[in-house]
Amino acid sequence: EKGNYRHYMQKEIFEQPTVVAQTLSSYIRQADETVALPQIDFDLSKINRITIVACGTSYYAAMVAKYWFEQFARVPVDLDFASEFRYRNPVLEEGGLALFISQSGETADTLAALRHCKANGQTIGVVVNVPTSSMAREADLLLPTHAGPEIGVASTKAFTCQLAVLAALAAHLAVKKGKMDRAEEQEVVHHLLEAPAALNAALDHDEDIASMAHLIAPARDVLYLGRGPDFPLALEGALKLKEISYIHAEGYASGEMKHGPIALIDEEVPVIVLAPSGPLFEKTVSNMHEVRARGGQVVLISDREGLEEAGEGCIATIEMPKVHPLIAPLVYAVPVQLLAYHVACVKGTDVDQPRNLAKSVTVE
Ligand code: F6R
């Protein structure tokens, strides 16, 4: 039931602190702050390559995870949309882990890709929200998200729970591969455990976002920019806006703007910049200045430190709590979800049942 909420999507956005905490609690041993995976009967330390396959929002979770697997575990990651992966004859070497990410566990292309990998000797890992789904049944390593039923067609809480599971998995793999010691693992766990409170702090800005939604609602096109692990969040922000408000939107890696898309910028185009303060901040801000110099209407999403440094001259800013870069992708999911949600409400579209879309895509 929707309770006090107007839409399932809104309710599911607000459930994130709780369901992310729930999900983390089944992957983290509180006593010694280490990662604990479900019982598995193969040796993770032998994994020398990871192939991640997913669609839509789940694919963007995979994109974020690639940074973590490579950074923590130093295991190379190949990544593809299920609908592309299936038809490109991918190289699947022995010792590979094929990881499938899906809310429903029934997406036809992802399921077919899973079966292809299984037939080609890969170990099958599945990050899935529906425990009774086909993908869950066919997994060697089943990693459930505990987001609870997701009813809004646009995926929200499943995404942040996927990120929580993937971060825990990346740390665990790093430990198994000897790339992370106990103290570093505890540090990762510590940051992950800060996510629920940080998600709550992000949700506190709901009203600010609602009141600036009218600035975005009249736009014909909107761009989203991000860098590093926050680049996939730019793609996710654009997808959310497209699917529920029907405004054309694109996400770009900030540094790619000058290679073409900056030609799109004029006074009519809002540009949403995701830039937590930290190692990538200065570079992203310099891309933002290039956009502003061409008349682009920038909305900066950052923490107080970032907004103080670069917020001036933006048409709006959204303040996030200051968080460790590891959990920034979870926390910055909230403002992009809320922005899409409130813009859709201004436009009066059907938030929970957008046109032309189904919750689970069981056709190829
Ligand atoms: C976007 C959205 C879709 C799904 C995609 C994959 O908001 O919900 O892009 O993420 O259809 O679905 P699952 O995760 O069920 O495989």
pLDDT tens figures, 57-114: 999 999 999 999 999 999 999 999 999 999 999 999 888 999 999 999 999 999 999 9
Residue nearest atom 16 of ligand 1, based on CA coordinates: 102
Q: Give residue for tokens 């198994």.
A: 176
d(CA 134, CA 104): 9
Residues of the chain with pLDDT under 70: none
| Ligand 1 centroid – CA 278 distance (Å) | 30
- Provide the CA 7 distance to its chain's centre, in angstroms: 21
Residue 363, pLDDT score: 83
**Mutation test of ligand 1: which of 361, 363, 364 has the most ligand atoms closer than 8 Å to its C-beta?**
361
> Is the distance from CB of 229 to CB of 361 less than 8 angstroms?
no
Residues 6+ apart with CB under 8 A from 145: 23, 103, 127, 128, 129, 158, 161, 162, 164, 165
Q: Which helix (H) or strand (E) holds 35?
A: strand 34-35
d(CA 239, CA 234): 9
Residue 353, pLDDT score: 86
Does this model's pTM top 0.95? My answer is yes
Residue nearest atom 10 of ligand 1, based on CA coordinates: 57
Nearest to 273 by CA among 340, 211, 332, 213: 332
Residues carrying an active site annotation: 359
| Ligand 1 centroid – CA 59 distance (Å) | 8
Q: Would you say the CB of residue 243 lies under 6 angstroms from ligand 1?
A: yes
Q: Would you say the CB of residue 110 lies under 6 angstroms from ligand 1?
A: yes
Residue 354, pLDDT score: 87
Residue 265, pLDDT score: 93
Residue 27, pLDDT score: 96
| Ligand 1 centroid – CA 8 distance (Å) | 16
Cα dihedral across residues 100, 101, 106, 110: positive or negative: negative
Residue 95, pLDDT score: 87
Q: Would you say the CB of residue 56 lies under 6 angstroms from ligand 1?
A: yes
Atom number of ligand 1 nearest to Cα 158: 14
pLDDT for 8-34, tens place per residue? 999 999 999 999 999 999 999 988 889
| Ligand 1 centroid – CA 305 distance (Å) | 34
Q: Would you say the CB of residue 284 lies under 6 angstroms from ligand 1?
A: no
Residue nearest atom 3 of ligand 1, based on CA coordinates: 56
